[in-house]
Amino acid sequence: MKNILVAGGAGYIGSHTVIELINAGYNPIIVDNLSNSKEESIKRVEGIVNKSLTFYKADVLDKDAMRKIFTTHSIDAVINFAGFKAVGESCQKPIEYYHNNIGGLIALVEVMREFNCKNLVFSSSATVYGDPESVPIKEDAKLSTTNPYGSTKLFIEYILKDICKADSSWNVAILRYFNPVGAHESGLIGEDPNGIPNNLCPYITKVAVGKLECLNIFGNDYDTKDGTGVRDFIHVVDLSKGHVLAVNKILENSGLVIVNLGTGTGYSVLEMVNTFSKVLGKEIPYKFAPRRPGDIGTCYADTTKAQEVLGFKATKTLEDMCRDALNFQLKNPNGYN
Ligand code: NAD
Ligand code: UFG
């Protein structure tokens, strides 16, 4: 059985991916410093897959700790989810973001090279497309960045491209996620942000259960079907399956692969709110507010390449995303606490 080191595996996308790796016959080795997650998520995953998991509480920046893990286990490939991800916070704390995201990636690839493990899947983001010139967005679209978080993703992409250019024995999949939402259908794991959520979906679920009063919809004057922002929301379980396909691919000596992970369909913020209301069986209160600085109007993926290269196709609907997100919120009113 192949060992896949999952850095950041206690987090939102990582915990769901651990399940899909096990379903596909891989053995995940989880590493996380729990800076934005709780060990409880791993316990919940153990309950779902009905087996105990290997977990190390460690920081990817701590090369000695990582060396110990690589010495204990023969690692076939690494998926790196570890990083900070809040756009607004990155503008307040750019040094911390560059240190953790870029420093963490460099430390990780250094240790990987020492142990001759040169297979890596990296969590990038549609944020590297900046304000796209056209939609759907293809992988060869112009890249740009508007905030330190986005810059860390873009700079890491450049670093990984240079690594692959310099040494053709590296196999790297750069996955550009669109908007991951939803939760595992068990309702045992899901998105559990600290404090008041910044992102749309966790904010709506908190409004749905009365923990927050009303959703502010940031902007109703975009050039979109109903004036509100349009995004490519993708169910986190579909996204996680994309990681298994990416691991399969790099283990075939693929070299560098860069793909979008989205559904290819853009839904508006209002459509998302209405679908939540339908699933909940009552109206989600909302009001229109000014545009959020830095936001773009429309963003959705061209999924042709992901289908061609990985055989990836998202199957879950917007209703699935809303139902599963609500289920997690209802079953866990205080998140993992
Ligand atoms: P998350 O915060 O839930 O998961 C990241 C995990 O990494 C957390 O468990 C955190 O404790 C851990 N971590 C952070 N720094 C670490 C370090 N130095 N060493 C060890 N562990 C560390 O976030 P997520 O939503 O699961 O996102 C996973 C990845 O996907 C991130 O890199 C994020 O930037 C990227 N991404 C997320 C989204 C999104 O909307 N969720 C969109 C695009 C890209
Ligand atoms: N929105 C609201 N009200 C809210 C929160 C969001 O109206 O309370 C709107 C936003 O204005 C936007 C849409 O909902 O139009 C989606 O916003 P999110 O904050 O959920 O997501 P973003 O598209 O802004 O960004 C997310 C991640 C980024 C990542 C990007 C692409 O936060 O890190 O998806 O993957 F880069």
Q: Pick the catalytic residue: 26, 149, 286, 300? A: 149
Quick one: pLDDT band at residue 129, thresholds 50, 70, 90? very high
Query: 121 in a domain, yes or no?
Result: yes
Residue 57 sits in which domain range?
A: 3-182+232-262
User: Each residue of 152-176: pLDDT tens digit?
Assistant: 999 999 999 999 999 999 999 999 9
pLDDT of res. 38 = 97
pLDDT of res. 89 = 95
Query: 13 in a domain, yes or no?
Result: yes
Query: 197 in a domain, yes or no?
Result: no
Query: 238 in a domain, yes or no?
Result: yes
User: Nearest Cα to 231, choosing from 261, 192, 262, 277?
Assistant: 262
Query: 124 in a domain, yes or no?
Result: yes
pLDDT of res. 119 = 98
pLDDT of res. 229 = 98
Q: Give me the CATH number covering residue 130.
A: 3.40.50.720
The kind and range of the H/E element at 179 are strand 179-181
> What pTM did the predictor assign?
0.98
Count of Cβ atoms closer than 10 Å to residue 315 Cβ: 10
Inter-residue contact 316 to 233 (CB < 8 Å): no
Catalytic residue check, 300 = no
User: Each residue of 290-308: pLDDT tens digit?
Assistant: 999 989 999 999 999 999 9
Amino acid (1-letter code) at residue 325:
A
Indicate whether residue 262 lines ligand 1 (CB < 6 A). Answer: no
Question: 3-state class of 120 per DSSP?
Answer: strand
What is the C-alpha separation between 295 and 302, in angstroms, rounded? 20
Ligand 2: which of 269, 270, 298, 299 to mutate, judged by most atoms within 8 Å of the beta carbon? 269
User: Each residue of 223-276: pLDDT tens digit?
Assistant: 999 999 999 999 999 999 999 999 999 999 999 999 999 999 999 999 999 999
Is the predicted pLDDT of residue 148 greater than 90, yes or no?
A: yes
DSSP string, 245-277: HHHHHHTT---EEEEEES-S--EEHHHHHHHHH
Quick one: pLDDT band at residue 194, thresholds 50, 70, 90? confident
Residue 183: what are its φ and ψ, rounded to 5°? -160, 170
User: Each residue of 304-332: pLDDT tens digit?
Assistant: 999 999 999 999 999 999 999 999 999 99
Q: How many angstroms is it from 168 CA to the middle of ligand 2?
A: 36
Inter-residue contact 299 to 264 (CB < 8 Å): no
> What is the number of structural domains in the chain?
1
Q: Which residues make Cβ contacts (< 8 Å) with residue 71, sequence separation at least 6?
A: 115
Q: Could you give the percent of the chain with pLDDT greater than 70?
A: 100
Residue nearest to atom 3 of ligand 2 (CA): 217
Q: How many CA atoms lie within 13 A of 232 on its CB side?
A: 23
Query: 323 in a domain, yes or no?
Result: no
Pick the ligand that lies closest to the CA of residue 63.
Answer: 1
What is the C-alpha separation between 191 and 262, in angstroms, rounded? 18
Indicate whether residue 15 lines ligand 1 (CB < 6 A). Answer: no
Pairing of strands 230-231, 267-268: antiparallel
Is the predicted pLDDT of residue 216 greater than 90, yes or no?
A: yes
Quick one: pLDDT band at residue 84, thresholds 50, 70, 90? very high
Query: 276 in a domain, yes or no?
Result: no
Query: 22 in a domain, yes or no?
Result: yes
